[in-house]
Amino acid sequence: MRTAPASYNLIDKTLHWAMALVIVGMLASGLLMDYVQPLALKFQVIQLHKSFGILVLVLAFTRVFWRFTNPTPRLPLGMPRWQNAIAHGTHLALYGLMFVMPFSGWMMSDAKGYHPNFFGLPVPMLGEVDRAAGRVLGDVHEYGAYLLMALLAAHMGAALYHHFIVKDDILARMLPARCGKGSGCCCKH
């Protein structure tokens, strides 16, 4: 299955939206886990956060493999170079954080002595217990999450800008159902 020049294919779209759902859930659980009570429920939330973090890593490797073996649709020809550069830079940063966040969380857990599992299945250790390293990795993980939120907001804002202001296909070609002329969708082409 190859990516069509005008739109992303089903695998592209599925990976994109699955990762979007999991990452937004991860960010929400990361922000809220300190407030969860009682302690037993908090422990379960943290374990699920770690398991879904490892799932993000698996999906990120899958997505990168798929991306390098399947070309993506081109950006619109009339798009200014600065927008093109920002789009590529934002995508690279998002891909980078799809790896940095799970690895930093996993290594932080190991360094703090709270080794993660993957929905109850064992995973390898990525490091030894080292409380000082755990604090540094915790900072990387926390500030990486803030950067990820900012990049996601920019990514979503750009997609909505292209859809509602520029009125091009940027957003429509990644939507689950292809939106285009005569499809009855909300965009005016």
Q: Rounded distance, CA 73 to CA 168, Å?
A: 13
How do residues 106-145 score in pLDDT, each as one tens digit?
A: 999 999 999 999 999 999 999 999 999 999 999 999 999 9
Mean predicted confidence (pLDDT) in 13-31: 96
Assess contact for 159 and 16: CB atoms under 8 A: no
Assess contact for 137 and 104: CB atoms under 8 A: yes
Residue 150 has pLDDT above 70, yes or no: yes
All domains of the chain in start order, with CATH: 10-174 (1.20.950.20)
Neighbour count for residue 94 (Cβ, 10 Å): 18
pLDDT at 6: 77
Q: Rounded distance, CA 54 to CA 104, Å?
A: 11
pTM, full prediction: 0.88
Apex CA 108: angle with CA 104 and CA 114, to 5°?
A: 135
pLDDT at 61: 98
Residue 188 has pLDDT above 50, yes or no: no
Nearest to 108 by CA among 125, 85, 87: 125
